[in-house]
Structure 1
Amino acid sequence: MTLNYLHLSPGDTPPPAEIGPYRAVLIAEEDVSQDWRNEVASWLVASGCLYFVAWGAACEAWHDTVDWTVLETFDFGDIPDDRFVMTTWHEKEPLSEVLWFAGNAASHPDIDLPHTLIVHIAQTATRAAMLELFCKSQAMADEA
């Protein structure tokens, strides 16, 4: 699995990218406008996100926005299995558990997801810290 990090300050335009099938972990430290949330959700879906995990500020709104974006992309009709985006939000869970979930349980029923992208919505980028936290979280024991 490859792991990448993208920092976006609220209002930033996401970079042009076609990542291919991947899971995204959105870590929202800032609340944002619905218009910008729509823009980022459209970018996620267009760039190949097939599993979306949301944590932090307004994470349920992020989840709903990605769901609506997928529906709109297919004109509220049938969504092909290989384009269906799984979505979860994790409002009351520690970030380390959400990152463990993303690395160990967030799988698509039809498509292998070899890439994980951490999308960090914050004023300041903390790439090294977020990547380290993700890697450490993968070693957590499953206590369920």
Structure 2
Amino acid sequence: MQLPYHYHAKDDWPSTVDNNTPGFFCRADQQTPNKFSLHSYGVAIDINPRYNPALVTPKHAGDPLRIQPKSGTHYYYHHKGQRGMIEPDDAVIRIFAQHGWKWGSYWQPPDTNYMHFQKDMDSHYQAHSLERAPKDNTQ
């Protein structure tokens, strides 16, 4: 396992080729590049990416869908019963769900992301400017 900075990349895809499990990684969102990814806030994780690859929507109309990481292509097409793969009835899905996380495999096609779990951002995770911070009147 290598820490993400080892790859000197602006996203975590190079790390996934080596089957690293990236969690926190400050980067732009894949679908909306003007926003931060949920990985930037520590509320997303990609587990065993080689064995649980993603089908990625192209950035340009007309380009084909692609499997990420490429080293996971075999596993994408044979996604059953391999050690390290996440299956619909696995405990990892139930445990994440009990804590309010969602599995990327349940997204609408064609976006299938077997490796990805995320927790929606709510007011608990939202940052507030110092000027708007509530005043503590208990002192």
Q: TM-score range by the shorter chain?
A: under 0.3
Q: Which has the higher contact order (CA 8 A, sep 6+)?
A: 1
State which structure, 1 or 2, has the greater radius of gyration over its C-alpha atoms: 2
TM-score by length of 1: 0.26
Structure with the higher fraction of residues in helix conformation: 1
Higher-strand-fraction structure: 1
TM-score, normalised relative to structure 2: 0.27
